[in-house]
Structure 1
């Protein structure tokens, strides 16, 4: 240690705080919600089944635009000069991951609102009849819009992982597994968010596929767990500095967040409850709400763990 400068312990290594963690969660929630809803529409259409009025799709039309809007609002408020955020939209460095993320969001956000307007077309036209012509054109282009949203949602879900993985001095963050982990956890949060809102606010009188969407938690949870295993196994074989970062899951407050929040609430509770819960519980509102909330809290804990623990260990 150089005594001229003093101990580094006096400095807080955390630059990105909870606002960034919540933004990353909100972006993933929106992207996952769209991926699940559009995937469900394609699944039903390919089998000649109706897709109109499905509560899960109605839920996605609320979850996706609201969550991405709240996330972007938090991101802007976190800027040093929030009223000058528009500069980000005018100046692009295409060698930067952030620039590509901004471009994707610039197209994704309006299209998500178009998706919502088409789902709630009757309600929109009731209060804004002047949008009839625009919505008619959008309806003609609906299939293309869905395809573009789907591609952009994959980009939005993964880009936050690429953004963090570009920080080469942080072993937990600087890994190729992070984008895949963020995308799979986005799917987990998105499906849970859709099920939660559909269960709370929309009728289940029609075939709504809530249980069908709920069942995708098995493969999604498996892939999320696999990504976590690969992340920490990779750290173990990446040199002394990276091996030191493994203490993030063995000691301190963030180890508790990882095991209780990420593994417990996010992975074990949804999977084990689906396996061992009595059949009479599995289709009840209380069960679906509890499991969905557990999954969402687990993904939120994951984002906080990655942001805070990731910045706490420097190579």
Structure 2
């Protein structure tokens, strides 16, 4: 059946609302930033120092947005004070429980990985505030030969986290639009795209007069194919619905054939988030305009946020 909606943001079949969309958006940014940072360390290690804008942005935002996203999720629950039970009672048959385990491992490895990258600054802080804690420099020194392995582990965890948000929604079997195996791949690529947009905004704000540094050029080289892959996966996502059963056909029609969420998708996700940045990026690069670079990255980031809202809300319009 297809529920009768009273408004685009409030209808009978709605279970997960806007805080979940924000949560999914923030998780994607963290996974995207870490993925790009590891790739920078692998392919351009001379740029991936503690002075790197990308690495500094990752230091501040990768753990920060994860914590903010989890706080939004916890306080959005009916009984938020019982959430701690999920952190100690694991179930491999529960998508939410597996996600909690992934978050815990991701955060633990992320802290160690960032501590080693910024070891000089960390040791300076330790010597100033905790001079008797002499074990820290020794521990950080022992991590040096393990950094390549740690980079690989961090990359795998970031990719898993970026895809997990899609798995979380695709497990909702009664919603034919969400119950789609391509959704994790779509969320992974769009999350990396959002991480690239955040990194480029940070680089532009820091460089001001030269938003097209060597580091920014590396991000641009990765961002363009990622956006095209995102477009391809989005196309495949809807083709899968079109080739599916009756429930998927109705979900596709309800999402794209007309109404508020169809307009949201075509004007917001496609127009603002995909087409406009692709058209404006050559102009921004040609004129070396920091304002153009900010506008293009801002539109890309907005498009990813609008995509999260569209998938979440339009995906719940149709139930079977």
Please give the TM-score of this superposition, normalised by the length of structure 1: 0.88
- Which residue number in structure 1 is paired with residue 246 of structure 2? 240
- In 1, Cα distance between the equivalents of 2:239 and 2:196? 28
- Which residue number in structure 1 is paired with residue 271 of structure 2? 264
Flag the 1:162–1:105 CA change in 2: closer, same or farther, 3 A.
same
Deviation at residue 124 of structure 1 after TM alignment = 3.0
- In 2, Cα distance between the equivalents of 1:266 and 1:14? 25
For each residue in 1:53-91, what CA deviation from the matched residue of structure 2 results, as whole angstroms up to 9, or x when unmatched? 222222222221121111111111112222221100111
- Which residue number in structure 2 is paired with residue 51 of structure 1? 48
Count of paired positions: 305
Structure 2: gaps (5+ residues): 128-132
Cα root mean square deviation, aligned: 2.4
Structure 1 position 227 matched with structure 2 position 233: yes
Flag the 1:208–1:109 CA change in 2: closer, same or farther, 3 A.
farther
Flag the 1:69–1:265 CA change in 2: closer, same or farther, 3 A.
same
Matches within 5 A, 1:128-147: 128-129=126-127, 130=133, 131-147=136-152
Structure 1 position 215 matched with structure 2 position 213: no
- In 2, Cα distance between the equivalents of 1:90 and 1:314? 33
Flag the 1:226–1:207 CA change in 2: closer, same or farther, 3 A.
closer
Flag the 1:9–1:215 CA change in 2: closer, same or farther, 3 A.
closer
- In 2, Cα distance between the equivalents of 1:279 and 1:51? 23
Q: Indicate which of 65, 71, 74 corresponds to 1:73.
A: 71
- In 2, Cα distance between the equivalents of 1:108 and 1:298? 26
Contact 1:61 1:115 (8 Å CA) reproduced = no
- In 1, Cα distance between the equivalents of 2:241 and 2:108? 39
- Which residue number in structure 2 is paired with residue 4 of structure 1? none
Flag the 1:243–1:288 CA change in 2: closer, same or farther, 3 A.
same
Matches within 5 A, 1:1-315: 12-45=12-45, 49-52=46-49, 53-129=51-127, 130=133, 131-201=136-206, 208-246=214-252, 247-275=254-282, 277=283, 279-281=285-287, 283-315=288-320
- Which residue number in structure 1 is paired with residue 130 of structure 2? none
Is 111-120 or 141-150 further displaced after alignment? 111-120
Contact 2:284 2:292 (8 Å CA) reproduced = no
- In 2, Cα distance between the equivalents of 1:117 and 1:188? 25
Please give the TM-score of this superposition, normalised by the length of structure 2: 0.87
- In 2, Cα distance between the equivalents of 1:279 and 1:310? 37
Structure 1: gaps (5+ residues): 2-6
Flag the 1:195–1:205 CA change in 2: closer, same or farther, 3 A.
closer
Contact 2:284 2:293 (8 Å CA) reproduced = no
Flag the 1:168–1:189 CA change in 2: closer, same or farther, 3 A.
same
For each residue in 1:2-44, what CA deviation from the matched residue of structure 2 results, as whole angstroms up to 9, or x when unmatched? xxxxx97686211101111111111111001111111111011
- Tell me, what secondary structure is at the counterpart of 1:86? helix
Contact 1:58 1:119 (8 Å CA) reproduced = no
